[in-house]
Amino acid sequence: MSFMPKPRSGLGRRHFLAGAGAVGGLAIGVAAAVPGASAARAAGPRPDLMTAALGTPVRDLPHLPATRPAGAGAARVARAAAALRTLRPFLDPLPIPRVLCPSGTLTLPLERARVRLHRALPATRLWTYGGSHLGPTIEVRRGRRLRVAWENHLEGDFPVTAVRVPFAYDPEQPLMWDRPGREGGAPRKEVAALPPWAVVHLHGAVTGGGNDGWAENAVSPGHVQPAEYPNDQPAGHFWYHDHAMYITHLNVMTGLGAGTYLIRDEEEDALDLPAGEHEIPLVFYDRNLDPDESGELTGDLLYKGIVVADDPYELVRPFTGPFTLVNGVIWPHLDVEARWYRFRVLNAANNRPYRLRVVDEEGEPIPAGAFLPPSPRPNAPTCWWTSAHCAGAGRAWSTRCPNRAPGPT
């Protein structure tokens, strides 16, 4: 393997204003005072369809026009909606990523793998950190430097199919982003042709510029991204993910979306929090899947871009998908004991915020009184909640102790 130098380019990330529509998600033109240019026309009222596509609940738009597909399109939508109901939740156990405690140096490969996202699905093609959908957890001590060689062993075709389709509203079916399927859209050739070009960014860490995983510092297969992390900051929950220029939103879909990075220090040690097998990462993100012609889910990942406007520029709704994964598995469960746990929560979704609630098997909220009271130890924390909001890249932790016999949750 060889180290790849930073490519020379006169196009900086912050100066990239136009052309992102070729591969990226959204490019918005801004009128400039250019001699001879005509004055920008005033923007008209935003259509209800666009308002709905950008996140306003349908119930708040009573006059939203319906555009039901007909013929083959209607059958395709019906099959996609039916496929959504074929995956039963809480069948698969929550996977716990392996924990790495390196001493000074670490080599971690970026490699392709096939992983089942749900027991009812065929294995999914992924690009991964070390062979699993969620990268391994890296633990370090404050003030101890770590040098990581991120080795690019990726190969093969881009493992995500991408389409762009105009937004349409059918009140009898789930919204377009809440159901599988391409909606008749053709695969985007420019995405299918993307090479395995990646760079790793350690989110939230204080690092030097050359080690930050800048978007233009991506490397190709056969090369290494070297990084040195000083870890000179208080104990905290950080995470690593892809950051490649123009295509981050696509690369994270391939499986290069998240791995946990924890800095420990003496202050955290003194809290005597649950640790080891009782400290559990919960990494959330949403995905979409591609069905075959019969409507059966193939396990292949799908990036469905919903176009909400195309004049004067193409406006694509930020990605959300119908399947929520926790630690790389769709709707898993975790068997717990009646004892204290520490959950480390991360929202690694492209755009979707989550409202986290503690509920019973019937979906009803569990009151705080169902948990044992906080420990009487003088230094023990009392961070526990039964409902919380977590936006994109948000991190949180909670300690809780189920006041009941062991069982799934």
Q: How far apart are CA 64 and CA 58, in angstroms?
A: 8
Q: How far apart are CA 176 and CA 170, in angstroms?
A: 9
Domains identified in the chain and CATH numbers: 99-161+190-328 (2.60.40.420)
Read off the pLDDT band of 194 (50, 70, 90). very high
Q: How many other CB atoms are there within 10 angstroms of residue 189's CB atom?
A: 8
Q: What is the pLDDT of residues 22-37, one digit of tens each?
A: 343 333 222 333 333 3
- Residue 228 phi/psi, 5-degree rounding, is -120, 125
Instruction: Please say whether the beta carbons of 243 and 213 come within 8 A.
Output: yes
**Nearest C-alpha neighbor of 94 from the set 326, 272, 274:** 326
Read off the pLDDT band of 396 (50, 70, 90). confident
Q: What is the pLDDT of residues 89-111, one digit of tens each?
A: 999 999 999 999 999 999 999 99
Q: What is the pLDDT of residues 368-392, one digit of tens each?
A: 666 655 554 555 555 555 667 787 7
For the ranges 50-59, 221-230, 273-282, the one whose mean pLDDT is highest: 221-230
Indicate the residue type of 34: V
Instruction: Please say whether the beta carbons of 133 and 117 come within 8 A.
Output: yes
pLDDT of residue 387: 66
- Residue 74 phi/psi, 5-degree rounding, is -65, -40
Eight-class DSSP state of 93: B
For 267-285, letters b (16+ CB in 10 Å) and e give ebeeeebbeeeebbbbbbb
Q: How far apart are CA 312 and CA 310, in angstroms?
A: 6
- Residue 307 phi/psi, 5-degree rounding, is -85, 120
**Nearest C-alpha neighbor of 299 from the set 308, 309, 288, 307:** 288
User: pLDDT at residue 10 above 50?
Assistant: no
Residues 6+ away with beta carbon under 8 Å from 346: 237, 239, 258, 260, 281, 282, 283, 284, 393, 394, 395
User: pLDDT at residue 39 above 60?
Assistant: no
Strands 236-242 and 99-100: unpaired
Give the lowest-confidence range in 92-101, 159-168, 336-345. 336-345
The residue assigned the tokens 């004067």 is 312
Instruction: Please say whether the beta carbons of 194 and 159 come within 8 A.
Output: no
pLDDT of residue 379: 54
Q: How far apart are CA 78 and CA 131, in angstroms?
A: 35
Q: How many other CB atoms are there within 10 angstroms of residue 301's CB atom?
A: 22
- Residue 337 phi/psi, 5-degree rounding, is -105, 165
